[in-house]
Structure formats: structure tokens, C-alpha cells
């Protein structure tokens, strides 16, 4: 089944303590779409400016990403720049230039309206809701968000939450949203705000998943020796998770979400191995399967007979 993804498509400038690269393909929808494309066909919704490289659009087409919902506007593509400190975990935003995003109104092409799985990747919650308004009874809706919206668009975010099946956010965002120090309390509080399921990412420490009643799952992150650029790991996690669900599951159960979370973690672990989407572009299904198996082995603690 197809997965509809809306989010940002960007040109990023990223600085780590050892390297800096400008005008790289980035944006929440770009990472999410490429990750998801390893599991299911993708219908992409977003906007690019007249400076956006045609080669990137051609690449997406080669990955079976439907671009009918990507608008080409006069002006510059959305640009974002960030700088990481030595732990490669703390990040400061250096600049955000909305450009064509400023007037962006996502419009679903007729052919997208009936899509069973929807991923609202990180963009303003009002735009995420606007996409849902146009979708015809999707079966499962995943949403991602960020601290900026918790701080500046809380009303819009609160209005979106009851419409979402699974909300994905990171630990600091969950704490900020709920004013809870405990992530367990934070996860349960967020569920009361609307989403049936909540996934809280903890960066290199893995992720937590909250379901109904006592349904709970915790997984680690894949241990990597070399991280080059953490940008987009969260979007890739969301894309991997939603892509796996859309590609393999009819009715989503908690057990499917547990597995989807491992696939999200696997894809995110590849993402950070290179700048931009470079590692994700050249992935093979065998590499994904082999890291998934490693994850299984790593999590096994009972003595096997
Ligand atoms: P992550 O590292 O998962 O937080 O995602 C990084 C990506 O988010 C970058 O490629 C940026 O282009 C994109 N991004 C940064 N700020 C925003 C924003 N305000 N709205 C949408 N996307 C953004």
C-alpha cells in the first residue's frame, strides 16, 4: 500500500566539528520519503523553488516516489543551516529561510486522496492538519513534530493530536510538551492529548513506544562507531517506521509497531553514517535485512536452547 508523506524539502548547510557542507539535499519529507521507499510506494507532497536540482527529482522518480504532489514555485527552495557540537547530539540552528515555504499550501492531487497510510513529517501543524482535511478516511496517521511548534504553534498542535494515531517526537520535546521529567509519565500524558500510540526517540539511547493500557516497548539504538551527520535521523526513523507499516501491514497492531520501530532505527542508523541522504541513497535491501538481524541478536537475552 502507498504512503502519503508531507513535509519540508530543503537545501541544508550542515557544520560538524570536523566538516561543513553547503546546499545539501535535506528536509523532513526528503529523508522520510527515501527511507519509506525501501518498504512501500510513496506519494510525496511538498514544495521546491526554481533553484532545486532536477537531478534530485529524477532520483526520487527512480525510487518510485510519486512527485505529482510536489509543487514547483517561483523563488528559492526552503533553506536550513545547523551546527553540531562535539557530542554530535546538541545542535544549534544557524538559520532558517522559509522562501517558497512561506506561502505553501499543500494540495493533494485527486490521485492521492485515498491513501491508507499518511505520514505528516515535520512541518507547521496547521499545514499537517490541512493535508488531513483533504485525505479521505486514511487508516493510520503518523505525525512528527519539533520544539519550534511546541513553542510557537501549540494551539495548532493540540488540534492535530486527536486526529493522529501515532505521534513521534524526541525526549526533550516530550518533556517540553508535558512539563514532566519522567519520559514514562510524558509518554502517557501525550497519549491523553489524543494519539493512541506515542514513540519517544532518545537519540543514541534508543526509543520508547507507548500503546494501550500496559503495552510498552523499549529498544536501543544500533551501536555505530562513526557518526558523520545526525541531521535527518528523526525524519528517517519516522519514514522507516511508516513505510514498513504501509508496505507490510493491513491493520496496525502493537506488535507491528514494535517491529516498525526497529526498522525505523535501522534506517536512522544508516542515515547518520554520511552527510545528507548520501548513505540512504545507496542502501540495499540486504544491508537493511542484515542490520535488522543484528538488532535481533543484540536484544536477545534469554539463553537459547
Ligand atoms: P532532524 O535532524 O530530524 O531534526 O531533521 C533535520 C531536517 O529538518 C533538515 O534537513 C531541515 O531541512 C529540516 N528542518 C529544519 N527546520 C525545519 C522547520 N522549521 N520546518 C520543517 N523542516 C525543518
Please report, for residues 76, 93, 149, 198, 238, the alpha-carbon distance to residue 161 in angstroms, rounded to integers and kept in the order given. 31, 26, 13, 11, 16
Whole-structure pTM value: 0.97
pLDDT tens-place string over residues 259-290: 999 999 999 999 999 999 999 999 999 999 99
Average pLDDT, the chain: 96
Average pLDDT over residues 150-179: 98
Average pLDDT over residues 176-193: 98
Please give the Cα distance from 86 to 62 (Å, whole number): 36
CB of 122 closer than 6 angstroms to any ligand 1 atom: yes
Does 305 have pLDDT greater than 80? no
> What distance in angstroms lies between residue 266's CA and the mean position of ligand 1's atoms?
20
Average pLDDT over residues 188-202: 98
Angle, CA of 111, 115 and 121, to the nearest 5°: 105
Closest residue by Cα to atom 11, ligand 1, is 27
CB of 27 closer than 6 angstroms to any ligand 1 atom: yes
According to the model, what pLDDT value does residue 89 have? 83
From 231, 267, 268, give the residue whose CB has the most ligand 1 atoms within 8 Å, as the site to mutate: 231
Q: Which three cell numbers stand for residue 180?
A: 514532566
From 5, 80, 144, 275, give the residue whose CB has the most ligand 1 atoms within 8 Å, as the site to mutate: 80
The pLDDT confidence band at residue 245, using thresholds 50, 70 and 90, is very high
> What distance in angstroms lies between residue 301's CA and the mean position of ligand 1's atoms?
37
Amino acid at each position: 500500500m502507498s504512503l502519503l508523506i508531507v513535509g519540508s524539502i530543503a537545501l541544508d548547510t550542515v557544520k560538524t566539528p570536523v566538516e561543513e557542507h553547503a546546499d545539501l539535499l535535506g528536509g523532513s519529507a526528503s529523508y522520510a520519503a527515501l527511507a519509506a521507499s525501501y518498504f512501500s510506494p510513496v506519494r510525496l507532497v511538498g514544495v521546491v523553488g526554481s533553484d532545486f536540482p532536477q537531478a534530485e527529482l529524477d532520483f526520487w522518480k527512480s525510487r518510485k516516489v510519486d512527485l505529482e504532489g510536489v509543487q514547483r514555485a517561483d523563488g528559492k527552495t526552503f533553506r536550513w543551516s545547523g551546527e553540531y557540537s562535539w557530542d554530535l547530539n546538541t545542535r544549534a540552528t544557524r538559520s532558517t529561510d522559509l522562501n517558497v515555504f512561506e506561502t505553501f499550501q499543500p494540495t493533494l492531487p485527486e490521485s492521492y486522496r485515498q491513501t491508507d497510510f499518511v505520514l505528516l513529517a515535520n512541518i507547521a501543524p496547521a499545514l499537517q492538519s490541512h493535508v488531513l482535511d483533504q485525505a479521505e478516511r486514511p487508516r493510520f496517521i503518523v505525525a512528527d513534530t519539533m520544539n519550534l511548534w511546541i513553542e510557537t504553534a501549540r494551539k495548532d498542535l493540540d488540534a492535530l493530536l486527536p486526529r493522529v494515531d501515532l505521534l513521534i517526537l524526541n525526549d526533550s520535546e516530550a518533556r517540553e510538551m508535558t512539563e514532566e521529567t519522567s519520559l514514562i509519565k510524558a509518554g502517557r500524558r501525550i497519549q491523553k492529548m489524543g494519539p493512541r500510540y506515542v514513540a519517544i526517540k532518545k537519540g543514541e539511547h534508543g526509543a520508547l513506544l507507548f500503546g494501550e493500557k500496559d503495552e510498552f516497548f523499549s529498544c536501543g539504538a544500533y551501536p555505530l562507531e562513526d557518526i558523520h551527520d545526525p541531521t535527518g535521523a528523526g525524519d528517517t526513523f519516522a519514514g522507516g517506521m511508516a513505510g514498513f507499516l504501509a508496505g507490510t501491514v493491513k491493520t496496525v497492531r502493537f506488535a507491528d509497531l514494535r517491529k516498525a520501530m526497529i526498522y525505523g532505527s535501522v534506517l536512522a542508523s544508516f542515515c547518520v553514517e554520511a552527510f545528507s541522504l548520501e548513505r540512504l541513497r545507496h542502501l540495499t535491501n540486504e544491508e537493511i535485512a542484515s542490520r535488522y538481524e543484528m538488532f535481533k541478536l543484540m536484544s536477545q537475552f534469554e539463553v537459547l536452547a
